[in-house]
Structure 1
Amino acid sequence: MHADLIGLGAIVLLAGLAARLGRRYGFPTVPCYMLIGIVFGPGTPGPVFVEHPEDLALLASLGLVLLLFHLGVEFPAEQVLGSGKRLFIAAGVYIGLNVSAGLALGFALGWGTSEALVIAGALGISSSAIATKLLIELRRLTNAETPIILGIIVIEDMFLAFYLALLAPVLNDSGSTADFIVDLLVSFGFLVALFALARWGARAIALLLDTREDELLAILMVGLVVLVAGVALEVGVSEAIGALMIGLVVSRTTLKERVEQLVLPLRDVFAAVFFISFGLTIDIGDLGGVAVPVVIAVCVTLVTNMTAGIVTARLFGFNQRAATNIGLTVLGRGEFSLILATLAIAAGLDERIGPFVALYVLVLAIAAPLLASQSKHFARFVSDRLLRSRWRFVQSETMSTACMHQDQMEVTETDITVCQQCIDDGGTWVQLRLCMKCGLVACCDDSPARHSRAHYEDEHHPIIQSLQPGADWQYCYVDEILVREPLGRSRTG
């Protein structure tokens, strides 16, 4: 018992130190945790801190459950459902290309249908943590394509719930076709039941958890999450999907913000144990046998991501730089790929799945930040013919190609030639601006009263147009850029 505690403490401490070192050089934490598990596990020569990885199974399972629960709690359902059609098309293209390529690779490797489906998911779902971290570190949060990247990541998370439900009967090894259909219906039935609970039962869950004391809220929350995850596992659905869905339920309660704050440190600690535990199951001798498939998988992922980036840029009228930014920012794979591999290992699938996903995640964890930081060089190889943007890569940066609020450009002309607010106040103006959302005419920022900006701050109508004779430029207050429309859309004013 003492040896087990010493080994666990030592390997978690080393994982934390490795992650801290990795962060200094811009690497994500997940591969660092996994690498420490591999290096100090029983499958690698040298010191071994945990002889039997199965001893950490319960802690690792708790890490998986809390990781997916937190994802569900912070999932912006309203934002996703309110997104434009183009965003769903872009996300569908990204997911479709990557999952299809992963499925084709899985069948080409000849490892079996179940393994192919796991590989499809591992290759098809990017790491939201890595992508978000890259956007922050590369200072691209204000780029025009960034809301699209974040939207694709969020829709991917939603897709994960359905994919896990689809995968559950496959991993359960349903015998006949009838058994498979029954298991599939049970999985999706459980999913629908939790969706219904999120829609109509959030108040009851809030009453169950509600307390002013954070200590009691944390205990009640963990108990509920583990219970639902266990029930999900009992009915043949992954504990991961149970945790994700109960997180969606909690996200619709008034306790959402408190729960997010309380679960975050628990998630980080136990998720680290989950990734370390995954690394402990990897025998370093097995990595050589999957090296060639991993190289192929990485190349395939790079091609599909760049293709999806170009398609998305074309949909939104972006230029080459934005296309490569999109494709390379979401290149990293991490927590979700490892979750799928863990489920595959637990289901007794081909033993090569674990080493394959481990090496694949490690390679992309290193490659994604390096390639994303150099996206401007890759942009030069994207032909103008593939995009609808009038603005060539060499002529402009992504921040000035298009804004994300052009769907609110409803008014393009007016007969008003005065700032009525200035007249009412007895003031004067320099130039006039037209609010393209509601048609208000107000004075510019060079005028004493700056009524146009005040209108934006009060009403949040984003785009104005100059009414100065000979000037037809438009400006977005939100993105703080001149609005340049994508090719194929003509102005009516």
Structure 2
Amino acid sequence: MHVDLIGIGALVLIAGLLARAGRRFGMPTVPFYMLAGILLGPATPGPVLVEHPEDLALLAALGLVLLLFHLGVEFPVEQVLGSGRRLLIAAGSYIVINVSTGFGIGAILGWGLRESLVIAGALGISSSAIVTKLLIELRRLTNAETPAILGIIVIEDLFLALYLALLTPVLSGGSGGDLAFDMATSFGFLVLLFLFARFGARALGGLIGSNEDELLAVLVVGVVLLVAGTSAEVGVSDAIGALLIGLVVSRTKLKARVEKLVLPLRDVFAAVFFVAFGLSIDVGALASVAPAVALAVVATVAANLAAGLVTARLFGFNQRAAANIGLTVLGRGEFSLILATLALAAGLDERIGPFIALYVLVLAIVSPVLAARSRPLARVIPDRLFRSNWTYVREQTMSTACTHLDRVQVTETDADECPRCVENGDEWVHLRMCLTCGAVACCDDSVNKHATAHYEQFGHPLIRTIEPGEDWRYCYIDGALVQAPIGASR
């Protein structure tokens, strides 16, 4: 027993040290936890710290359950319900494009239906943790496209719950009648949990409520494990049971305290889950799936960019915002590994494990690099893909954080020409209005660039377009667009 503890302790310590080193370069932690398991597991040549990965099975299951439970507790139900039609369409388009691409990749690779369904989910669902960390590290929390990105990953999480619930019976591989019964049972259990989330929050709060943090933590973990285990018994993934009981807790007065208490447990045991997944991967098998992974990565990048363009068009964003959306939601992580774990447990094609492991590792490196370098992509996205002419500001990221709004004194004008161009007998392309003095001048696509010249002469920072169908403002000092947040009237 003591030998096992030494090996597990050393493995988790090394995983933490690798993750800490990776964080210094802005990398997410998940790939480094996996890497520690891959390099120090029994399926890889070299030192082995844990001879029997199944020894970590219970701890890994606890990590998976707590990971999904905490997600349920944090899930902003009101934000999704009040997000509006445009965000729902954007998120739906993202899911359809990416999941369909994943399913197509599975079919191209010649895998069966069940394997293709797993690949569809693994390639189609972003990592909430990686996306959120990218937004923070790239200082884009105030960008106008950021609420759309967060809305997409939130709705993705909800889709994941439904997808896992329907996929679990399919992975069991029963006959048509058995499959229909299992899916009906899973759906019925989901409905029961949703109803409990809607009407049973007060009762659950009374059951687990305690003024002492120690007792609250014990009671919460007990309830989570009980519901997760019951979910697994009735044919629904234990992860889904944990997610939905998290939704119930999120509707109680205990939400904030539970989030704080469970977070350290989630992080520790989730790390064990990722390490345990790495232990099951044979590094020798990675080479055989490398071409398939390369195809999947290229397809994922293309699908994400297409979804970014759709979202940008829906919200009237420009090229830079479209590139930001597509490349920020590129990261894959915990959810892909959950699906891989389910597939391996169901006895599906053993190549799925190495395929998804390498896929997640590659995207964990590619996603931050591409997201930080979205400007070159914005330069080549053609204007015809957008409803409005954004050429003037196509390379700027939109922001609501302008600090010069106190300089706004004039917002309307009846002018329909550039006076200086008329005086010189020249033509202009588009018109802009100074929001400080009301002067109207031509844009930077015009020969004379009188709007910029006005700023350089008088220092008035803000202009707005007066072109029909356009509603953006631009700050010369901040070098960014200034637009009302999502959901504001337009």
Q: Is the 8 A contact 1:318 1:398 kept in 2?
A: no
Could you list the per-position Cα deviations for residues 309-328 of structure 1 after superposition, in whole angstroms to 9, with x for gaps in the alignment? Answer: 01111111111110110000
2:75 is equivalent to residue 72 of structure 1 = no
**Match for 1:271: what amino acid?**
A
Note the aligned Cα RMSD (angstroms).
Answer: 2.7
Summarize the Cα distance change of 1:96–1:2 in structure 2 as closer, same or farther, 3 Å threshold.
same
Match of 2:336 in 1: 337
Distance in 1 (alpha carbons) for counterparts of 2:51 and 2:245? 34
Summarize the Cα distance change of 1:64–1:482 in structure 2 as closer, same or farther, 3 Å threshold.
closer
Distance in 1 (alpha carbons) for counterparts of 2:295 and 2:160? 24
**Match for 2:196: what amino acid?**
L
Distance in 2 (alpha carbons) for counterparts of 1:142 and 1:165? 35
Distance in 1 (alpha carbons) for counterparts of 2:192 and 2:377? 46
Q: Is the 8 A contact 1:23 1:29 kept in 2?
A: yes
Match of 1:129 in 2: 129
Q: CA deviation at 1:380?
A: 1.5
Match of 1:311 in 2: 310
Match of 2:154 in 1: 154
**Match for 2:243: what amino acid?**
L
Could you list the per-position Cα deviations for residues 285-340 of structure 1 after superposition, in whole angstroms to 9, with x for gaps in the alignment? Answer: 11111111100000100100000001111111111110110000000100000000
3-state secondary structure, aligned to 2:380: coil
3-state secondary structure, aligned to 1:258: helix
**Match for 1:26: what amino acid?**
G
Summarize the Cα distance change of 1:233–1:395 in structure 2 as closer, same or farther, 3 Å threshold.
closer
What are the within-5 Å matches in structure 2 for residues 79-90 of structure 1? 79-90=79-90
**Match for 1:242: what amino acid?**
G
Summarize the Cα distance change of 1:183–1:397 in structure 2 as closer, same or farther, 3 Å threshold.
same
Match of 1:461 in 2: none
2:146 is equivalent to residue 166 of structure 1 = no
Distance in 1 (alpha carbons) for counterparts of 2:219 and 2:73? 15
Match of 1:398 in 2: 397
Match of 2:57 in 1: 57
3-state secondary structure, aligned to 2:391: coil
Q: Is the 8 A contact 2:70 2:243 kept in 1?
A: yes
**Match for 2:201: what amino acid?**
A
**Match for 2:366: what amino acid?**
A
**Match for 2:64: what amino acid?**
L
Q: Percent identity?
A: 69
**Match for 2:26: what amino acid?**
G
**Match for 1:307: what amino acid?**
A
Q: Is the 8 A contact 1:125 1:333 kept in 2?
A: yes
Match of 2:17 in 1: 17
Distance in 2 (alpha carbons) for counterparts of 1:482 and 1:111? 48
2:124 is equivalent to residue 105 of structure 1 = no
TM-score, with normalisation over the residues of structure 1?
0.83
3-state secondary structure, aligned to 1:380: helix
Q: CA deviation at 1:393?
A: 6.4
5+ residue gaps, structure 1, are: 404-429, 435-464
Match of 1:447 in 2: none
Summarize the Cα distance change of 1:209–1:236 in structure 2 as closer, same or farther, 3 Å threshold.
same
Summarize the Cα distance change of 1:395–1:113 in structure 2 as closer, same or farther, 3 Å threshold.
closer
Distance in 2 (alpha carbons) for counterparts of 1:218 and 1:401? 40
Could you list the per-position Cα deviations for residues 250-296 of structure 1 after superposition, in whole angstroms to 9, with x for gaps in the alignment? Answer: 00000000000000000000000000000000011111111111000
Q: Is the 8 A contact 2:397 2:481 kept in 1?
A: no
2:223 is equivalent to residue 224 of structure 1 = yes
Q: CA deviation at 1:388?
A: 2.1
Q: Is the 8 A contact 2:142 2:399 kept in 1?
A: no
**Match for 2:224: what amino acid?**
V
Q: CA deviation at 1:127?
A: 0.6
Equivalent residue pairs, number:
430
**Match for 1:11: what amino acid?**
L
Q: Is the 8 A contact 1:313 1:319 kept in 2?
A: yes
Distance in 1 (alpha carbons) for counterparts of 2:14 and 2:246? 31
Q: CA deviation at 1:468?
A: 8.2
Distance in 1 (alpha carbons) for counterparts of 2:436 and 2:354? 63
Q: Is the 8 A contact 1:313 1:322 kept in 2?
A: yes
Q: CA deviation at 1:392?
A: 2.0
Match of 2:467 in 1: none
Q: CA deviation at 1:485?
A: 12
2:60 is equivalent to residue 35 of structure 1 = no
Distance in 1 (alpha carbons) for counterparts of 2:391 and 2:400? 9
What are the within-5 Å matches in structure 2 for residues 400-479 of structure 1? none
3-state secondary structure, aligned to 1:310: helix
**Match for 2:354: what amino acid?**
P
2:360 is equivalent to residue 347 of structure 1 = no
TM-score, with normalisation over the residues of structure 2?
0.83
Summarize the Cα distance change of 1:207–1:301 in structure 2 as closer, same or farther, 3 Å threshold.
same
Match of 1:278 in 2: 277
Summarize the Cα distance change of 1:336–1:400 in structure 2 as closer, same or farther, 3 Å threshold.
closer
What are the within-5 Å matches in structure 2 for residues 197-212 of structure 1? 197-212=196-211
Match of 1:181 in 2: 180
Q: CA deviation at 1:398?
A: 2.2
Q: Is the 8 A contact 1:314 1:389 kept in 2?
A: no
Q: Is the 8 A contact 1:131 1:329 kept in 2?
A: yes
Distance in 1 (alpha carbons) for counterparts of 2:9 and 2:187? 40
Summarize the Cα distance change of 1:431–1:143 in structure 2 as closer, same or farther, 3 Å threshold.
closer
Summarize the Cα distance change of 1:113–1:36 in structure 2 as closer, same or farther, 3 Å threshold.
same
Summarize the Cα distance change of 1:475–1:220 in structure 2 as closer, same or farther, 3 Å threshold.
same
5+ residue gaps, structure 2, are: 412-433, 441-462, 465-470
Match of 1:48 in 2: 48
2:226 is equivalent to residue 190 of structure 1 = no
Q: CA deviation at 1:87?
A: 0.5
Q: Which moved more, 1:374-383 or 1:7-16?
A: 374-383
**Match for 2:140: what amino acid?**
R
